[in-house]
Every structure is written in C-alpha cells, then in structure tokens.
Amino acid sequence: MILSKPDRQPRHALITTLALSAVLALAMDLAVTAQSGKESGKVAVVRTPHSGLQPQAVMDGSGTLHLIYFKGEPGAGDVFYVVREPGKESFSSPIRVNSRPGSVIATGTIRGAHLAVGRHGRVHVSWMGSQTAEPKGPGGATPMLYARLNDAGTAFESQRNVMQFAAGLDGGGSIAADSEGNVYAAWHAHGGPKGEKEGEADRRIWIARSTDDGRTFAREAVAYAERTGACGCCGMRAFADRRGAVYVLYRAATDFVDRDMYLLSSTDRGQNFRGLRLHQWKLDTCPMSSAVLAEADGRVLAAWETAGQVYYTGVNPPASGEVNPISAPGEGKGRKHPAIAGNMAGETILVWTEGMGWKKGGSLAWQVFDRDGKPTGEKGTADGVPVWSLPSVVASPGGGFTIIY
C-alpha cells in the first residue's frame, strides 16, 4: 500500500549496504519468472532478508519500503525491522523490534507481528506475545505487545502490553496508524482476565486507541456492538486510510459455524464502527485464515480466504451495500494467506500461497487485475514459501509491484 507522504522524511538513520552475498541473493530473487516462462515486467519477487519469516511491508509516500520479519524459534523468536530507500536494491541493517528476546510467536502463521507507519513516518509494530513474553496480560494472560521506533529512528522503545482488560488472545492482533497521530491496537478476545475459558461465539473485537503517536493508550473498548463472535485462531487486520477512516477485517464465529468475513469501519477516528458481512462460510472448525487491507488510488482493498479460495474487493466507507468479491483465477483449493496492493493506474495485485498447512510450507502465486477487476497477463508462481510464513506485497511509485516472501 502507498501511504500519504509524511510531513517530513521518515526518521531512520541506519541505512547501510548489505554484505555482497546478500545483494547477490537479492538479485537472484528478482529473477523469479512468471508462469509464461518470461520475466514479469510489472512484478518483482524478492526473498525476505536474512531468511526471515512472515514479512510485513509498507511503502510510504516518499517511496521508502518499510519491512518487518520474524527470526528464531517459531514458539519464541524475534521481529526485526529494515528499510529500503528509493532507488536502492539493498535493505538497511536490521533493528530488533522486541526489547525482550524470544517475545514473539510465529507458530500457526497468523499470530505474527503487524506493521503500520503513522505521523511523521513513525513506525509502529504490534504482536501476540509468546509464552515467555513479558510483560504479561491481565491475570498472567498472553499479552498484546506493542513497540514504536524512537525519535532518532535508531532503535525501538521498550515493548509494552496494551491489553488492560480483554484477555483470551489467540489469533493475534493488528495495528493501524494515521497521519494525525492516532494509533489503533486491535485484537479479538473475551472480556475479562478469565476470558480464555469462554467460547468463540463470545469473542469480541477490542481496540485500544492512542492519540499521541503511541506514547500512551487508553483502555481497550469493544469496537462493534453486534455479537458476531470471532474465529479464535484466525488472524485479523486493522488499517487506517489517508482520510483517517479506520477498518478492521476479521472472521466471525456466530453460532460456531457461521465463519463469515466481517468488515468494521469508522469515520470518526475509531469512536464508532459499523459492520458489514463481506462473505459467508459455513464451517464447524477454525481454518486458521489471515486477512489483509491496503489502499491505493483512493481505494481501500480487502482480501481474505473462503473455502480454499482467495478473494478481494473494494471497501471504502461508508461500508454498506452490495459486495461483489473477485476471486483468484482457477480452482480454489488450498489457497491461503492473501496479500494485496493497488497502484495509481487502478491495477490490483492479489498474492496468495498454495499447499500451506500445519508445519508445512508451500508455493507462491499472484495475479494482476485491471481497473475493472479483470485478470491481466501479469501472473506468476514461485516455489519455497517456508513453514509458518506468508507473503507481503507493495505497489512501487513507478506503477509496478514488489512481492516479498
């Protein structure tokens, strides 16, 4: 996604050249070819730096690519942050995000860290804490952790737990930030420190809001009054667009079998949300799915998985009316973990994995769609998505796309 240009240049001061071997590896990754056997002219495909997992990328208004990724043991590892400046082929030296080693969990793929870039290029990261993570949530519960880049852009401040009340975190949470200094930490859980024992149909979407660039957070509040439930071990996504509207995309669990995709949207800085069912799915078990939101050319895009297929649609506020999801071409079977981006020409790229499962890696696939949602000739595949990983994608200022996996 391309964010609005910050008021001043992002505050990162550790841009250095990677070792020659890393540069050569990056060059090899750029040579991934499309299904036709020819190199794609619009889509570049690169591997996550330092063999990291679960990349999460944001392209800011200056053309700087911000990226976080996971390293270490899946049950208790670390998240690192790098940037790639406009015109560069290499990323900066990595900065560890979590102040306490081993505080991040990657097991299950959908519990990893999320990234947002807010006012003046401030970087915000949130993640579900590992079993050894500190500080704990209420009553010793799994914490919803948060850290932000310091003023100098040289390190992340000490990690903090923003969960004050709503315990029962399982499928991970998300983070959103706007250009006015608002930061939104979101997760789904039950209410109260004993909430882990309640059912999926009782889960709610909770949001802790900061109005001072993440310096402080208010106590979390329920985002949506309707009791849709939330699929316990499915991921979710929070996002703030250029106009300051806030979105949350998640999988419901009404009556334990209605695992529909829901979109919440707010046009008053997260004070009130309205809900919209995007896609229905009858299922009596958790699919451990993920979801994404992105913005480009005045469009907010949502992508998700339903019954082995991946879909996307536009979701600008007010979120109401008929929804017409667009699916990836071909038979949907075992497709998961979509990523999405749009360029200023109105084109959209949908990226997904195939063959992924518990403790099982898979392959990467992508398709570019035109302004009318029709597939173009720009499509491709690549092997080697690692276990517990997933792809990310951004639109480049020049109109192309960069997939990182």
Cβ contact 325:312 at 8 Å: yes
Q: Decide if 303 is inside a domain.
A: yes
Give the least confident one: 90-94, 195-199, 236-240, 371-375: 195-199
Q: Decide if 2 is inside a domain.
A: no
Rounded mean pLDDT of 114-122?
97
Which string of DSSP letters, residue by residue, matches 204-218? EEEEEEESSTTS--P
For 316, residues 6+ apart whose C-beta sits below 8 A from its C-beta are: 298, 299, 300
CB-based burial, 47-67: b 16+ in 10 Å, e otherwise: bbbeebbbbbbbbbbebbbbb
CA–CA distance, 285 with 337 (Å, rounded to integer) = 17
Task: Tell me how long the chain is.
Answer: 405
Q: What is the pLDDT of residue 24?
A: 35
Q: What is the pLDDT of residue 297?
A: 85
Which has the higher per-residue pLDDT, 349 or 25?
A: 349
Q: How far is CA 306 from CA 2, 13, 162, 282, 287, in A?
A: 26, 42, 31, 10, 9
CA–CA distance, 112 with 258 (Å, rounded to integer) = 25
Q: What is the pLDDT of residue 40?
A: 59
Q: What is the pLDDT of residue 192?
A: 57
Q: What is the pLDDT of residue 29?
A: 41
Rounded mean pLDDT of 111-122?
97
Which residue range forms the structural domain that includes residue 244? 64-333
Q: Decide if 318 is inside a domain.
A: yes
For 199, residues 6+ apart whose C-beta sits below 8 A from its C-beta are: 229, 256
Q: Decide if 348 is inside a domain.
A: no
Q: Decide if 392 is inside a domain.
A: no
Q: Decide if 208 is inside a domain.
A: yes
- What pTM did the predictor assign? 0.89
Numbers of helices and strands, H then E, in the chain: 1, 27
Task: Provide the CATH number for the domain around residue 138.
Answer: 2.120.10.10
| 139 φ/ψ angles, rounded to the nearest 5 degrees | 70, 20
Q: What is the mean pLDDT of the chain?
A: 89
Q: How far is CA 211 from CA 35, 122, 270, in A?
A: 47, 13, 11
Give the least confident one: 26-30, 211-215, 373-377: 26-30
Q: Where do we find the tokens 């000739």?
A: 377
Q: Decide if 307 is inside a domain.
A: yes
What confidence tens digit (pLDDT) does each residue in 158-199 have? 999 999 999 999 998 999 999 999 999 999 998 755 544 578
CA–CA distance, 293 with 379 (Å, rounded to integer) = 21
- Is the pLDDT reported for residue 275 higher than 50? yes
Number of domains within the chain: 1
- 6's tokens: 């910050």
Q: Decide if 49 is inside a domain.
A: no
For 266, residues 6+ apart whose C-beta sits below 8 A from its C-beta are: 223, 245, 246, 247, 272, 273, 274, 317
Which string of DSSP letters, residue by residue, matches 132-162? T-SS--GGGPPPEEEEEB-TTSSSBPPPEE-
- 351's tokens: 């990226």
Q: How far is CA 81 from CA 45, 52, 70, 102, in A?
A: 19, 11, 9, 15
What confidence tens digit (pLDDT) does each residue in 291-307 have? 999 998 889 999 999 99
